[in-house]
Amino acid sequence: RLLDGIKPSVVINCSGITLRNPEAASTISSITINALLPHQILSWCKANGARTIQFSTVCVFDGKDGNYNEDFPPNAQDVYGRTKSLGDLIDPQALTIRSSFIGRELQAGTELLEWFLSQRGKRIKGFRRAIFTGVTTSVMADTVADIIERFPALSGLYHLSSEVISKHDLLVLLRDACQADVEIIPDDEFVCKRDLDDRRLRQAIGFSPPSWKQMAADLAGESTTYAAWRREDPLCPSK
């Protein structure tokens, strides 16, 4: 009903029930939001001459192999990874971007960056064998805007990634950029390789991500803005 009233030319589906979301305990909710909703949006777009952009996730892979390209079949065994893979859209009127991203949050504070910033004065583990190739939310937003404006016919499944970095090194960069008093203890026991091969997207649109040092600095520069929004919005808990 909302889409019928607005009649958008592009529908970007940013919704999802992630691993740390309280609703993740409900398999039915995960299936509804992660797997079914993307196809319902696509159905509306096909009936109304619009297109949709769907966000997939690196969590559709189990993290044992690494360097995944678009042809590697999803093999996650958990509800989140399996339901998200079912929501991947392969259609001329749909673009599925598979990636991972970090950024600030207005409310829940359940994802990596907000969790990390809430650990000030504490000791945490930094996984040196957990590989990350995501981007910041700002880089993702800018890239999506560029695709909409300059590559309106782009469709199918594309991986979007950055330079390879370990979760340990990423947290160190974030700590230094945000001047967060957090002690990071190196951990080599946990192993997860969910890095993506995004050569297909780079060839299609000329995508080239900033360095992680630059992205961490950009994230740190957003802190004041988000703090102000939280103070002004009664729905947002103060931090």
Domain count across the chain: 1
Q: Kindly report the number of other CB atoms within 10 A of residue 228's CB atom.
A: 10
The parent domain of residue 154 ranges over 2-231
pTM, two decimals, is: 0.91
**Alpha carbons 227 and 239: distance in angstroms, whole number:** 8
216 — pLDDT class (breaks 50, 70, 90): very high
CATH number at residue 41: 3.40.50.720
Residue 239 lies in a domain: no
Residue 189 lies in a domain: yes
Residue 20 lies in a domain: yes
Tokens of 104: 């600030």
Structure confidence by residue, pLDDT tens digits, 174-185? 999 999 999 999
Residue 236 lies in a domain: no
What does the pLDDT average to over 57-71? 97
**Alpha carbons 112 and 102: distance in angstroms, whole number:** 7
What does the pLDDT average to over 40-56? 98
What does the pLDDT average to over 180-205? 97
- Which of 215, 212, 216 lies closest to 179 in space, CA to CA? 216
Residue 160 lies in a domain: yes
Amino acid at the residue 122: K
Tokens of 3: 């889409």
Phi-psi region of 95 (alpha: psi -120 to 50; beta: other; left: phi over 0): beta
DSSP conformational letter for 22: G
Query: Cβ(160)–Cβ(98) under 8 Å?
Result: yes
Residue 120 lies in a domain: yes
Across 17-21, 37-41, 121-125, 185-189, least confident range: 17-21
Residue 25 lies in a domain: yes
